[in-house]
A = this chain, B = another copy of it.
Amino acid sequence: MLNESAIIATVNKHEEIQRQDIEDAVKKVTVGLQKTSRVISDKDKKLTAYHEAGHAIVSRYLETSFGVKEISIIPRGVAGGYTMYKTDEDKFYISKTEMEEKLIALLGGRVAEQLALDDISTGASNDLEVATKLARDMIMIYGMSEKIGPISLKVDDVRELEFYGNEIQDEVGKEIKRLIDTAYARAMQILNTNRDKLDAVAERLLEKETISQKEFEEFFV
């Protein structure tokens, strides 16, 4: 999965984090130590393979993505697998387009489950949490919703939202849903169009467990 929390922290705080720092943090915090003792069922392995392949392939077709570094279905920490992305260079700003595409990549895992297994699972809960918070920030902190406008609904205490009335907050809720639904539809469209690649990458993951950047790129030549 995406090292979203680190990226979001960067967005909010504009701190200077070096690339190596992030990679280290990613290993420790997000992916955790590799676990080998645990037996994974074939059903769970297949779900993980499609979920991670979904993230990676959707990301491959986005304009602002920096590319996939590694995909794996070896469980680490509480995650059944992971997709590591090449991180952003040291930058001050994140654009609305980058954020919208980040939402699409985040939802690629859930969409792949739906497409390939005709069922969805609890495995996407963290993706949904990160995507929802990102969509919320786009609207409430960065004023990126045309409907709500260039307004800041940033508050220290949630009760301060009362200052702006309940109607605006209902609109915010609808806009968050709209951003998420739009990203979901786009992820679905990408994976539907590239269903053969989804199956191929998932199959390779089941075979080899981990795919490098180079191996992943070979599916797109």
Q: B-contacting residues of A (Cβ < 8 Å)?
A: 11, 13-14, 16, 38-41, 43-44, 47-48, 75, 78, 80, 89-97, 107, 110, 117, 119-125, 128-129, 131-133, 136, 140-144, 148-154, 157-174, 176-177, 180-181, 184
Contact = CB atoms under 8 A, between A and B. Distances in A.
B122 A94 contact: yes
A145 B43 CA distance: 23
Contacts of A149: 177, 180-181, 184
A162 B159 CA distance: 8
A211 to B, nearest CB: 19
A92 B123 contact: yes
A92 B121 CA distance: 10
Contacts of A125: 141-143, 152, 154
A164 B172 contact: yes
Top 9 A-B pairs, shortest CB-CB distance: A165-B173, A165-B170, A93-B121, A128-B152, A129-B152, A164-B173, A165-B169, A168-B173, A80-B92
B177 A169 contact: no
The count of identical subunits is: 6
Contacts of A124: 142-143, 150
B128 A142 contact: yes
Contact of A120 (B13, B91, B95, B121): B95
A162 B158 contact: yes
Contacts of A48: 92
A158 B158 contact: no
Nearest to A160: B158
A66 to B, nearest CB: 13
A47 B78 contact: no
Contacts of A92: 40, 44, 47-48, 75, 80, 123
Given A131-B152, A163-B169, A167-B170, 5 more contacts: A92-B123, A95-B120, A95-B122, A158-B160, A159-B159
B142 A41 contact: no
Contact of A44 (B91, B129, B169): B91
23 contacts: A14-B78, A40-B92, A43-B91, A48-B92, A94-B121, A95-B117, A107-B150, A110-B143, A124-B143, A125-B141, A125-B152, A128-B151, A129-B154, A131-B150, A136-B164, A149-B177, A149-B181, A159-B162, A161-B162, A163-B173, A165-B166, A165-B172, A167-B170
